[in-house]
């Protein structure tokens, strides 16, 4: 029983990280009906921004509350700016083009970031994996039994940070004027523009928020796994995309539920089967869900008039 509890804790900790990245996918899709496959690589860029900030602060300062806060702010702010630039110069000129054009562009940006960061020139880090600085010293927050269940401080912090960001996003979307504008643009951006809503601004800010959330998730992931590399965004981004589709792409609570479900499934597969089955089971669940619920668990399939 205690072993199951430990797997539940580990699965929820992993799921919250997937959820933050999945929220970026679902926000962009909800507004533009675009799968931003570069989203995971934006997360990777945020991790390296946090790495550079922590390295600049030094071993003593980076572990203080202000140091950790600065690492998160720089990474999330930098990725928000990156998200704005990607939307402005890559996606906006293609907004009225066929969706396949934007999809191919997203894949191109993804590869440009992931493989561009493998160049060992200037400020680019190179292909070799690096150990992320220990900005949060691991310590046992709670121990049950004879170490049958161990809850680490970084797991609690990750959960609190992730839940706080998710609650803030939910409040922004459903309780603010900007959130109403975002939902109006997601319903029909052309009609929203005729009603006086600044659609370009709404879409740009949506990209910025999603990119900032991805950076926060990347830092939480790096604190957990410590090893970072330019290709890490491809793996985490793909898993988060699967989570968003399982929950219902475009549905904010659905993305969270799908991510938590994916984290729990992966943890139990690793704990009771084999780690090599983890990815196969995750994508198997995606196929099963789409067979019976094509719109995801919380999504709806709407008929489109042509």
Give per-residue pLDDT as tens, 182-205.
989 988 888 898 888 999 999 999
Helix-strand-coil percent breakdown of the chain, rounded to 5? 75, 5, 25
With beta carbons less than 8 A apart as the criterion, state whether 88 and 55 touch: no
3-state SS, residue 297: coil
pLDDT of res. 91? 93
Least confident stretch, 57-71, 204-218, 275-289: 275-289
pLDDT of res. 229? 92
Locate tokens 């900032």: which residue?
212
Question: What band does 300 get if pLDDT is binned at 50, 70 and 90?
Answer: low
Mean pLDDT of the chain: 87
pLDDT of 106 > 90? The answer is: yes
pLDDT of res. 303? 55
pLDDT of res. 304? 55
Nearest to 211 by CA among 74, 77, 53, 19: 77
Q: What is this structure's pTM?
A: 0.90
What lies within 8 Å, CB to CB, of 41 at 6+ separation is: 109, 110, 113, 114, 233, 234, 237
* DSSP, res 132: P
Take residue 13 and report the two structure tokens written for it: 């900790």
Take residue 109 and report the two structure tokens written for it: 């940006």
pLDDT of res. 180? 92
pLDDT of 305 > 60? The answer is: no
What size, in residues, is the chain?
306
Most confident of 185-189, 238-242, 252-256: 238-242
How many degrees, rounded to 5, is the angle at CA 197 between CA 196 and CA 198?
110
pLDDT of 302 > 70? The answer is: no
Alpha carbon 261 to its chain's center: 15
């Amino acid at each position: 029983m205690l072993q199951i509890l430990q797997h539940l804790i580990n699965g929820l900790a992993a799921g919250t990280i997937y959820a933050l990245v999945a929220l970026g996918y679902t926000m962009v899709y909800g507004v533009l009906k675009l799968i931003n496959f570069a989203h995971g690589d934006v997360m990777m860029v945020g991790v390296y921004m946090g790495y550079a900030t922590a390295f600049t602060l030094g071993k003593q300062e980076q572990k203080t509350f202000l140091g950790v806060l600065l690492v998160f702010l720089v990474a999330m702010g930098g990725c928000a700016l990156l998200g704005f630039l990607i939307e402005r110069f890559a996606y906006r000129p293609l907004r009225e083009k066929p969706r396949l054009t934007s999809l191919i562009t997203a894949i191109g940006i993804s590869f440009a970031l992931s493989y561009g960061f493998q160049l060992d020139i200037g400020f680019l880090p190179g292909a070799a994996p690096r150990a992320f600085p220990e900005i949060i010293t691991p310590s046992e927050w709670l121990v049950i039994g004879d170490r049958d269940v161990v809850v680490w401080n970084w797991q609690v912090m990750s959960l609190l940070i992730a839940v706080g960001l998710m609650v803030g996003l939910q409040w922004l979307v459903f309780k603010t004027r900007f959130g109403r504008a975002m939902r109006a643009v997601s319903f029909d951006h052309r009609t929203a523009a005729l009603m006086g809503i600044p659609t370009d601004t709404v879409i740009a800010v949506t990209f910025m928020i999603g990119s900032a959330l991805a950076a926060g998730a990347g830092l939480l992931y790096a604190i957990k796994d410590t090893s970072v590399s330019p290709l890490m965004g491809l793996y985490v981004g793909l898993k988060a995309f699967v989570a968003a589709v399982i929950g219902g792409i475009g549905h904010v609570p659905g993305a969270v539920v799908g991510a938590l479900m994916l984290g729990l499934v992966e943890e139990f597969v690793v704990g009771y089967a084999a780690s090599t089955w983890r990815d196969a089971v995750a994508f198997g669940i995606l196929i099963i869900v789409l067979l019976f619920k094509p719109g995801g668990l919380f999504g709806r399939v709407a008929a489109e008039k042509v």
